[in-house]
A and B are shown apart, each in its own frame.
Chain A
Amino acid sequence: MKFKLAKPNKENLNTFVTLGSVLILVGFFDFLANTFLDLNFTGFLPGGLSFLTPIIIGVMGLHFIRIEFSGNRLLDKINTNFNSSNFNAFLSLLVIFALIKYIPPILNWFIFDADFAGNTKQDCTSGGACWVFVKVWLNRFVYGMYPDTEQWRINTAFFMLFALVGASFFVPAKLKKYLLIFLLFVYPIIGLKLISGGDFGLEYIETGAWGGLSLTFIVSAFALILCFPVGMFLALGRRSNLPAIRYTSIGFIELWRGVPLITVLFMSAVMFPMFLPDGTYVDKLIRVLVAITLFEAAYMAEVIRGGLQALPKGQYEAAKSLGMGYWRMHFLIVLPQALKLVIPGIANTFLALVKDTPLIFVVGLLELAGMVNLAKTNPEWLGMAMEGYVFAGLVFWVICYAMSRYSQNLEKKLSTER
């Protein structure tokens, strides 16, 4: 076969691969020299073109090595995964170049140029991230304004929670039921009492002093557990045959979905007490919890309703034909399937809820992000906003990623269709 430059073919495999590889290497060399050594070989070209030379040369090289059924495994793999067309070759190169260019500075800031040792802002000299800030403030980031001497109470409460949750994965199925009931109905009371105190010789600590990551957990956990059943009943209510229930549910859902959370929180803090009779007082944290719960329940209701609607009518009919009434039909047949269908949506709502918790700063409660906000305005630590927010972001990411993974596992575990 004749040698044609624009049409790489198998007969001239070696020629094309050599030519292509050389061009790709030149492209990379140009790019690396440009990025790390500040050498611009192609500077004589007009501005835009000079900037694009590495990619242009690289794409040309990739074009030459794009040979179908070359027989070389590595080459075939590269071609199918990075180099299936000129446009894909361009995108692949662009992504690789971007990664090479931007990852090192980020790593430098994070780790290599960062300061870890010391106790004051003055110890941060090397220009990278000042993790000293996070180190010094870590206690506040986790416990908020909770008195140092009483922090063992928070630790105990959370240790108990993790132990119980951990145990629920290992105990036999029979005990598991009781453990879950204990976790859902008894433990929250014990945990709250332990943290708030006031009885059993524990010093009372008002909720205004709670804060940091522990408050994030408390607010998220209560709202998660409470919004789920409320949302479930709202979803059922919206599909009810009884007009009173249906329209109440619709009204409730649309009202809460139509209002920004921050407004709801303001209302709960500022307006709500005005409606209470004189002398009654509902704790700020409880008001906030109720507000978030109802707000997220409205979203949860719509997610669950999606699942209810996705179920074939035949499932309802089969349940009815076996003599099941409304509640048995829903709790034995409909909800188990509908909830399984909408696990991704439920996880979505839960993640959104966790990430909405920082908004409680509007009523003066400072969870993790709120504490960071506070710490960065401390005169001795001005200019540490970046480190603080990156830290808070990372913590939120870890929490949310863990939840997301758990939901994916749950989906797999519950799947019965094969």
Chain B
Amino acid sequence: MSKIIELKNVNKWFDKFQALKDVNLEVNQQEKIVICGPSGSGKSTLIRCINRLEEHQDGQIIVDGKEISENTKDIEKIRAEVGMVFQQFNLFPHLSILDNCTLAPIWVKKLPKKQAEEIAMENLKRVQIADQAKKFPGQLSGGQQQRCALARALCMKPKIMLFDEPTSALDPEMIKEVLDAMVDLAKAGMTMIVVTHEMGFAKEVADNMIFMDEGRIVEKAKTKDFFNNPKSDRTKLFLSQIL
């Protein structure tokens, strides 16, 4: 399998605070990676660097063969291929669910409206909220909103999906419906990087686990090894606290 994302010695600072320290990571096509770690450990920063919502100051990030830096002219093109789901959903409240899903395909990928709507309905069906297409985000439950956000990202037909704590802002009852949609997506062969605390999901879906602490990748291992046989003490401590 071929590499689709590559990070080499990535460093990032927020003023004086170093958020990422020498991060190295390779992600293959169709690989599913779950990143976990305590809050403030740089998990979100890491995946936000991959579509340059955050800028890294040092090192290389290569996504789908293109290096991301301040010189990247067509950062929009890379972002169009990298879908992202946020903790706070970030749906566009002034647009209906359907328009949320068709906006970027129409204006960024220049699809005809009709085709964009077909794709949108397909994806809304996939996450099982097709019947809500005409409503506005404010009328939906959190779980429905997050599934809509997932559908919106999928409408761009991304090669990679990034998830930034997708279930952290949800009621416990709604977490499952979002995770189910993500499991389906994983089974369909999407390349996924997921920041989450849902270890059940990780065990079911992830090929590899990454544990981060204080801006470093402390441990990267096959999922089974990670849970059954963690190498570093810090990982053991973390797992003992959340499992």
Question: Are B51 and A322 interface neighbours, CB within 8 A?
Answer: no
Question: Are A324 and B90 interface neighbours, CB within 8 A?
Answer: no
Within 8 A of B (CB), among A328-371: 328, 332-333, 336-337, 340
Within 8 A of B (CB), among A301-325: 312, 314-315, 317-325
Residue of B77, B108, B136 contacting most chain A CB atoms (<10 Å): B108
Question: Are B156 and A318 interface neighbours, CB within 8 A?
Answer: no
Question: Are B76 and A323 interface neighbours, CB within 8 A?
Answer: yes
Question: Are B93 and A321 interface neighbours, CB within 8 A?
Answer: no
Which partner residue on chain A sits nearest B88 by CB separation?
A314
Which of these, B84, B88, B109, B138, contacts A321 with CB under 8 Å? B84
In the complex, chain B residues whose CB is within 8 Å of the CB of A333? 92, 103
Question: Are A328 and B107 interface neighbours, CB within 8 A?
Answer: yes
Question: Are A320 and B88 interface neighbours, CB within 8 A?
Answer: no
For B, the interface residue count at a CB cutoff of 8 angstroms equals 30
Chain B 81-123: CB-based contact to A (< 8 A → 1; otherwise 0): 1111010101111100000000110011100000000000000
In the complex, chain A residues whose CB is within 8 Å of the CB of B136? 416-418
Q: A328-B108, A332-B103, A332-B107 are in contact. Are A321 and B92 (CB under 8 A)?
A: no
Question: Are B53 and A336 interface neighbours, CB within 8 A?
Answer: no
| Cα(A312)–Cα(B88), bound, Å | 10
* B33 CB within 8 Å of chain A: no
Within 8 A of A (CB), among B110-151: 136-139, 149
* B159 CB within 8 Å of chain A: no
Question: Are B83 and A321 interface neighbours, CB within 8 A?
Answer: yes
| Cα(A340)–Cα(B139), bound, Å | 18
Q: A314-B86, A416-B138, A418-B139 are in contact. Are A322 and B152 (CB under 8 A)?
A: yes
Q: A323-B108, A328-B107, A417-B138 are in contact. Are A318 and B90 (CB under 8 A)?
A: yes
Which partner residue on chain A sits nearest B137 by CB separation?
A416
| Cα(A261)–Cα(B79), bound, Å | 46
Which partner residue on chain A sits nearest B96 by CB separation?
A416
Q: A318-B86, A323-B79 are in contact. Are A418 and B156 (CB under 8 A)?
A: no
Q: A322-B152, A328-B108, A416-B136 are in contact. Are A317 and B53 (CB under 8 A)?
A: yes
Question: Are B90 and A314 interface neighbours, CB within 8 A?
Answer: yes
Q: A321-B53, A323-B76 are in contact. Are A315 and B90 (CB under 8 A)?
A: yes
| Cα(A416)–Cα(B103), bound, Å | 17
Q: A416-B136, A418-B139 are in contact. Are A324 and B107 (CB under 8 A)?
A: yes
In the complex, chain B residues whose CB is within 8 Å of the CB of A320? 51, 53, 79
In the complex, chain A residues whose CB is within 8 Å of the CB of B81? 323
Which of these, A324, A325, A416, contacts B93 with CB under 8 Å? A416
In the complex, chain B residues whose CB is within 8 Å of the CB of A319? 92
| Cα(A146)–Cα(B88), bound, Å | 61
- Chain A interface, DSSP helix/strand/loop, else mixed: helix
| Cα(A414)–Cα(B80), bound, Å | 29
| Cα(A333)–Cα(B104), bound, Å | 10
Question: Are A323 and B90 interface neighbours, CB within 8 A?
Answer: no
| Cα(A333)–Cα(B83), bound, Å | 17
Within 8 A of A (CB), among B148-168: 149, 152-153, 156
Within 8 A of B (CB), among A89-147: none
| Cα(A323)–Cα(B74), bound, Å | 9
Residue of B80, B90, B149 contacting most chain A CB atoms (<10 Å): B90
| Cα(A315)–Cα(B156), bound, Å | 17
The smallest beta-carbon distance between A111 and chain B, in angstroms, is 48
Question: Are B53 and A322 interface neighbours, CB within 8 A?
Answer: no
| Cα(A418)–Cα(B96), bound, Å | 13
Question: Are A416 and B94 interface neighbours, CB within 8 A?
Answer: yes
In the complex, chain B residues whose CB is within 8 Å of the CB of A417? 93, 136, 138
In the complex, chain A residues whose CB is within 8 Å of the CB of B83? 321
| Cα(A333)–Cα(B139), bound, Å | 19
Question: Are B90 and A322 interface neighbours, CB within 8 A?
Answer: no
In the complex, chain A residues whose CB is within 8 Å of the CB of B94? 336-337, 340, 414, 416
The smallest beta-carbon distance between B240 and chain A, in angstroms, is 33
Q: A314-B88, A317-B86 are in contact. Are A418 and B77 (CB under 8 A)?
A: no
In the complex, chain A residues whose CB is within 8 Å of the CB of B108? 322-324, 328
Question: Are A317 and B107 interface neighbours, CB within 8 A?
Answer: no
In the complex, chain A residues whose CB is within 8 Å of the CB of B104? 322-324
In the complex, chain B residues whose CB is within 8 Å of the CB of A323? 76-77, 79-81, 104, 108-109, 156
Question: Are B156 and A322 interface neighbours, CB within 8 A?
Answer: yes
The smallest beta-carbon distance between B29 and chain A, in angstroms, is 20
The smallest beta-carbon distance between A412 and chain B, in angstroms, is 14
Which partner residue on chain A sits nearest B48 by CB separation?
A317
Question: Are A315 and B138 interface neighbours, CB within 8 A?
Answer: no
| Cα(A76)–Cα(B169), bound, Å | 46
11 new A-B contacts, CB < 8 A, other than A317-B84, A322-B108, A337-B92, are A319-B92, A322-B80, A323-B76, A323-B79, A323-B108, A323-B109, A324-B76, A325-B76, A337-B93, A416-B137, A418-B138
- Chain A residues with CB under 8 Å of chain B are 312, 314-315, 317-325, 328, 332-333, 336-337, 340, 414, 416-418
A-B contact pairs, 19 of them (CB 8 A): A314-B88, A317-B90, A318-B84, A318-B86, A321-B51, A321-B82, A322-B79, A322-B103, A322-B153, A323-B77, A324-B76, A328-B107, A328-B108, A333-B103, A337-B93, A414-B94, A416-B93, A418-B138, A418-B139
Q: Ordered nearest first, which 3 A-B pairs have the shortest CB separation?
A: A323-B80, A318-B90, A322-B104
